[in-house]
């Protein structure tokens, strides 16, 4: 693995809230073009780690690099350019309830680029289609949509600025199994078609099996292991054994070739 294959590297990350240390000396590499799943027990700090990478919180210690460049050495303008190439789907979708679908998807364009509204509408319309929504959805409001459709709108919005990396925080939470499988297929298709790198926090074992190239396990305040799923299954850490070989893990594994 050469340095050029690493898009984001995290070294020695420490995060804490008051006395509560969430991460201590955490390392992680996100490889260019991969779909990296992130799993871990509730409260192990998956979302906090994502927020630290996104620059939404300041770590107590550690280095985060993009393409080898330290974030801490970037100017505000440089960091803003980076932010504009990252797409984020937050847990719960977080759509603007007072804006319709088209306006929601246009929001990042309004914030980051200077172009005529008609062009923004055209781009947003394309992203709505990419996310698997019908054009008629454009004028509807979030409250009028199903959970699966809201996720797709959030995905369309995350794609608005042609990101090179997508961060997905539990994208299939709250969807029924069929809706979740459809969303997984969409994410996989988009990643391959657009050459996206994806970091996806999930509790969904089916998603891990279906689309992740590698899986990072958060435990004991750090990334305990990151590996393709088939290698993880034999890892001796008790949480990993319970997660993958407990009843739900066995059910998800049943019939899979990995
Ligand atoms: N703003 C905050 N202030 C204080 N503590 C916080 C804050 N945000 C997160 N935490 C704490 O940090 C820890 C990690 O939280 P985080 O949301 O990252 O967990 P998670 O692994 O994503 O959990 P889940 O799977 O339940 O979503 C938790 O103990 C949480 O209470």
The complex scores an ipTM of: 0.96
Q: What average pLDDT does this structure show over 43-52?
A: 95
The reported pLDDT for the residue numbered 85 is 87
The reported pLDDT for the residue numbered 4 is 72
Testing ligand 1's pocket by substitution, the residue of 40, 48, 60 carrying the most ligand atoms inside 8 A of its CB is 48
Give DSSP secondary structure letters for 121-186: HHHHHHHHHHTT--GGGGG--GGGS-HHHHHHHHHHHHTTT--SEEEEESTTTT--HHHHHHHHHH
Q: How far is the CA of 219 from the centre of ligand 1 (A)?
A: 13
Q: For the chain, what is the mean pLDDT?
A: 91
Which of 62-76, 107-121, 179-193, 243-257 is predicted least confidently? Answer: 243-257
> Does residue 19 surpass a pLDDT of 90?
yes
Ligand 1 in contact with 48 (CB < 6 A)?
yes
Tokens of 63: 């280095």
Residue 256's pLDDT band (boundaries 50, 70, 90)?
A: low
Q: How far is the CA of 215 from the centre of ligand 1 (A)?
A: 20
> Does residue 250 surpass a pLDDT of 90?
no
> Does residue 39 surpass a pLDDT of 90?
yes
Q: How far is the CA of 17 from the centre of ligand 1 (A)?
A: 9
Query: 37: closest CA among 254, 214, 247, 222?
Result: 214
């Amino acid at each position: 693995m050469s340095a050029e294959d690493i898009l984001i590297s995290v070294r020695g990350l420490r995060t804490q809230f008051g006395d509560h240390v969430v991460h201590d000396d955490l390392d992680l590499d996100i490889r260019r073009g991969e779909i990296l799943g992130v799993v871990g027990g509730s409260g192990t700090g998956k979302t906090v780690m994502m927020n630290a990478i996104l620059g939404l919180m300041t770590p107590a210690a550690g280095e985060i690099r993009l393409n080898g460049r330290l974030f801490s050495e970037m100017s505000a303008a440089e960091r803003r350019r980076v932010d504009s190439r990252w797409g984020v789907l937050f847990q719960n979708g977080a759509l603007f309830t007072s804006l319709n679908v088209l306006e929601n998807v246009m929001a990042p364009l309004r914030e980051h680029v200077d172009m005529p509204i008609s062009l923004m509408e055209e781009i947003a319309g394309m992203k709505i289609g990419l996310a698997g929504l019908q054009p008629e959805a454009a004028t509807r409001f979030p409250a009028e949509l199903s959970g699966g459709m809201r996720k797709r709108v959030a995905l369309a919005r995350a794609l608005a600025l042609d990101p090179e990396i997508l961060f997905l925080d539990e994208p299939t939470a709250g969807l029924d199994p069929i809706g979740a499988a459809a969303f997984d297929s969409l994410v996989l298709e988009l990643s391959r078609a657009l050459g996206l790198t994806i970091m996806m926090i999930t509790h969904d074992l089916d998603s891990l099996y279906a689309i992740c190239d590698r899986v990072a396990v958060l435990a004991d305040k750090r990334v305990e292991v990151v590996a393709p799923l088939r290698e993880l299954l034999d890892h001796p850490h008790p949480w990993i054994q319970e997660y993958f070989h407990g009843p739900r893990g066995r059910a998800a594994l049943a019939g899979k070739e990995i």
